[in-house]
Amino acid sequence: MTSQTDHFDISMLVSRFFRALDAREFKDGWARDFFTDDVRTVTPLGTTEGSAVVAETEVSVERYARTQHISSDVLVDTAGDTTGDLARASWNALMTHVHHDATLERLGENVPPLFTVGGRYDAELRRTPDGWRIAHMTVHAIWTTGHPPVLP
């Protein structure tokens, strides 16, 4: 059974993570507030591990002039973990990305400025001395509108 405190702490971790992405709060060491050192992420753009997750996250967000990530319906499950230090969580997400003007120029006329993704995140979390951190995270894109990012 998941405690209310664990559910609250993990929900706040998700909210703070999305807020940091949108505020682009990428000061040195920012990812330690959200990820374990051995984190692994799986997104529609590929799989990344460890410190490369930090760089890839920053690059992904900076592809856009602005972003807004909204999470909802965070579900947390600690059942089956006898240590109390592991959890699974999932949440719905609406991710809106505003293309840079230069990107719109490359894409051509009449291209909408927004790329929007509706999806779900699945995560495995580990309790650390500093609180819950994401050890594995998968992003499932369920639907999209607009044009995806222009990749190098």
CATH (domain of 10): 3.10.450.50
**Domain that includes residue 126, residue range:** 4-145
Is 151 inside a domain boundary? Answer: no
The number of domains in the chain is 1
- Whether the per-residue pLDDT at 29 is higher than 60: the answer is yes
Is 29 inside a domain boundary? Answer: yes
- Whether the per-residue pLDDT at 79 is higher than 90: the answer is no
Is 150 inside a domain boundary? Answer: no
- Whether the per-residue pLDDT at 144 is higher than 80: the answer is yes
E-assigned strands of the chain?
35-43, 46-49, 64-77, 86-99, 114-128, 131-145
- Whether the per-residue pLDDT at 43 is higher than 70: the answer is yes
**pLDDT tens readout for residues 123-141:** 999 999 999 999 999 999 9
